[in-house]
Amino acid sequence: MELFAGIGAWSKALENLQIPHEIVTAVEFDERTINNYNLIHNSNFEASDITKINEKELPDCDIVCYSPPCQAFSLAGKQLGFEDKRGVLFFDALRIIKEKKPKYALMENVKGLTQKKFNAEFKEMLLELEEAGYKNYWRVLNAKDYGIPQNRERVFVISVREDILKDFSFPEKFDSPLRLKHLLENDVDEKYYISEERFKKLLETVKEQIKPAPSGITQVTQPKFSQQRVYSSEGIAPTIAAGNLGGGKEPCKIIQIGLLDMKGNEQVRRVYDPEGLSPTLNTMQGGNRQPKIIVNDTYFDIDNDNLVLSTATEPKRNYKLRIRKLTPKECLR
């Protein structure tokens, strides 16, 4: 059973892990979102309001997965906690858990829920689950430590029914070689690209950062640590060291190139390098807030607006860089 189902990330995770399962019901308030859920999972659920659901009429299940709205505890929200009506929707999930008594209840929420400001609220949640007959295990996990090229910290609460004689331990961290660049589409509509005029100011900054070395290695950024360096594919590869946490030395970090000269807060103006990780994705409020990335477009003849890279093998070759927003498919990936 999936509560606050969204597009079904919990169910997709079970599918990816090849764990046999059946989705007995999915509760999602937004009609467009549940339509997307049905398309992804080949289901036929209707939009429903968890506050109006009769828990006694729901089917029995082994697992309840729930991701209550996070705005009440998020750093990006007003942080009103239980004073926000969205902040108390946890108790509707609890009502269903108490009635259906699943073997396991899995909750996910923003890291902000664990901060000192919401210590009382988080403790109350855990206590209520304990009183309902569950042993809780919780930890803040970052998606980047588990093979997903996105910096996304979330608290997970794994509640195991007391009669299930099994202890739970969270998986060990690992770094796969997967990076944001591996999830990009090959053919992207022109509407996702930032205009050349807006790009010019940032381009000048990027030009200053690119400093070819005598060795022929062309380094695009000048960070403090070697793991954060970004190199041009036109230069010679640097010395390759042993992997870190099972992955390569591509930085398991967000690499921010700079800020666009445009209206809006700093977050929507940031430009990232796809050699690193994606920043945390949010609902984006209908679009136009997707993270922006700098990409290699193609090679051009000499043009003052293009970026000239000088390397040992290619003394003067122009490399066209452009900036674009992530596409909906890329965000979904």
* Residue 160 identity: V
Query: E strand or H helix at 108, and its extent?
Result: strand 104-110
Residues 221 and 276: beta-carbon distance below 8 Å? no
> Which residue has tokens 């022929």?
216
* Residue 1 identity: M
- Read off the DSSP letter of residue 187: S
- Rounded-to-integer distance, Cα 121 and Cα 155, Å: 14
Q: Which of 61, 65, 70, 252 is catalytic?
A: 70
Six-digit token pair at 289? 């807030």
Six-digit token pair at 291? 């993270």
Main-chain phi, psi angles of 257, to 5 degrees: -80, -45
Residues 257 and 274: beta-carbon distance below 8 Å? no
70 is catalytic: yes
CB atoms within 10 A of CB 5: 28
Main-chain phi, psi angles of 201, to 5 degrees: -65, -40
Six-digit token pair at 116? 């000192």
Residues 62 and 104: beta-carbon distance below 8 Å? yes
Identify any residues that bridge with 108 across adjacent strands, giving them in sequence order: 156
Residues 25 and 1: beta-carbon distance below 8 Å? yes
Dihedral of CA 193/197/198/200: which sign?
A: positive
- Read off the DSSP letter of residue 193: B
> Which residue has tokens 């829920």?
113
Q: Which residues are catalytically annotated? A: 70
